[in-house]
Structure 1
Amino acid sequence: MDSKFSPRIKDVLSYSKEEAERLGNSAIGTEHLFLGILREGEGIAVDILISLGVDLYDIRKNIEREIKSDTITDLDQNNIPLQRSAERVLKLIYLEAKALKNNTIDTSHLLLAILKDDKSMVTQILEDQTIDYNKVKENLKTLFPKAQADYPSEEREGKGGMSGGSKGSSTRGKSETPVLDNFGIDITKSAEEGTLDPIVVERLKLND
């Protein structure tokens, strides 16, 4: 459970909250997490989807059409909760990173975690295009056998992010997952305190 979130996936999570607001939805679901990936527009998950022939514009419009609220909802923008399905996804991404022996959690792990949910609209839409969890994982291993985490290019070149003194570096006493804190949960803290879902904990033990 030592994996860290890449800057890009933190952006994706922030975007997913904004997508829920924009579409008038009262909670953040797996569809919003996926829309966050598409809105960010770059990263390993997007590269994989494109390589598999997914029309990103078309799938985004299909999802928006299905989940957009027809009524005006008075949302508390500072406290939009996660649906249970989204909570589970944000726990499973640790397992996906662990299984691939990655120290940094990126958008590919988020995509895989979403596809683990058979009931997710995203999963069903992609399966209609013969794209599923196994195909995405195999594609990931083929295209990115030694992939770096999907940091922005300037950070991979050592101009930010992982270098000392950067804006993105955490400081002692501050949360290392501020974006997740905005969702009302701190998964890293939950993992450290042993308060994760018992099923997730048991799977982690089996993978050790």
Structure 2
Amino acid sequence: MVVLPFSEPARKTMRYASQEALRLKHEYIGTEHILLGLIREESGVTPDMLNKVGRDLGKVQAEVENWVLAGAEEVTKCRLPRTQRADKVLNYADKEAQSSGCDFVEAEHILLGLLREPHGVAHCVLVGLGLSVDNVRDEVATILRNRR
């Protein structure tokens, strides 16, 4: 259960995730949509981190889209439910934020949550790109230090 509030970048990430699910004609928000939302959220550290480790954002998006098929019909739901795996990701993100002493769940905590949920599409894509919880955690810390 998520305890901490979401920062504005984290909220935007989830709004983008919903938009990505609708674009792909899916009636749910899964880990793949959350990863696509993180890529779109430019004020978060995910785009910087992926670029810094040599991962082109367009390639990441293409890789996600290789894993999932677009739906056949437009989705008419106003509010899309999250999958159980997406909920686990957000719970992991909350734990990451708490363990780092943050008052909010940030977009980078969501990225770490995606890596901690081993059965999600996003995890498979990120690991396939050579990322792990440890190297992402280190890289995020470096980026955040350099932003200060």
TM-score bracket for the superposition, by shorter chain length: 0.7 to 0.9
In structure 2, do the counterparts of structure 1 residues 147 and 41 end up closer, same or farther at CA, with 3 Å as the change threshold?
A: closer
Mapped partners of 1:145, 1:42: distance in 2:
15
Letter in 1 for 2:46: A
Q: Which runs of 4+ in 1 moved over 3 A?
A: 145-148
1:126 corresponds to: 126
Say whether residues 1:40 and 2:35 are aligned partners.
no
1:2 Cα deviation after fit: 6.4
Mapped partners of 1:84, 1:100: distance in 2:
24
Q: Which has the higher contact order (CA 8 A, sep 6+)?
A: 2
1:174 corresponds to: none
The share of aligned pairs that are identical, in percent, is 24
In structure 2, do the counterparts of structure 1 residues 57 and 42 end up closer, same or farther at CA, with 3 Å as the change threshold?
A: farther
1:192 corresponds to: none
Say whether residues 1:60 and 2:61 are aligned partners.
yes
Are the aligned partners of 1:44 and 1:106 in contact in 2 as well (CA < 8 Å)? Answer: no
1:19 Cα deviation after fit: 0.8
Mapped partners of 2:107, 2:141: distance in 1:
14
Question: Equivalent residue of 1:104, what SS?
Answer: coil
1:85 corresponds to: 85
In structure 2, do the counterparts of structure 1 residues 101 and 25 end up closer, same or farther at CA, with 3 Å as the change threshold?
A: same
Are the aligned partners of 2:85 and 2:119 in contact in 1 as well (CA < 8 Å)? Answer: no
1:70 Cα deviation after fit: 4.8
Letter in 1 for 2:114: I
Mapped partners of 1:2, 1:70: distance in 2:
33
1:37 Cα deviation after fit: 1.0
Larger relative helix fraction: 2
2:101 corresponds to: 101
Task: Deviation per CA, 1:58-97: give whole Å up to 9, x if none.
Answer: 1102212332325225x33213211100011122211010
Aligned residues: 147
Aligned-residue Cα RMSD (Å) equals 2.1
1:9 Cα deviation after fit: 1.4
Mapped partners of 1:98, 1:146: distance in 2:
22
Mapped partners of 1:77, 1:39: distance in 2:
22
**Structure 2 unmatched runs, 5+:** none
Which structure 2 residues correspond to residues 1-208 of structure 1 after superposition, within 5 A? 3-73=4-74, 75-145=75-145
Mapped partners of 1:16, 1:108: distance in 2:
15
Letter in 1 for 2:15: S
Mapped partners of 2:54, 2:99: distance in 1:
26
Structure with the greater alpha carbon radius of gyration: 1
Letter in 1 for 2:108: S
Mapped partners of 1:110, 1:56: distance in 2:
17
Are the aligned partners of 1:21 and 1:77 in contact in 2 as well (CA < 8 Å)? Answer: no
Mapped partners of 1:90, 1:129: distance in 2:
22
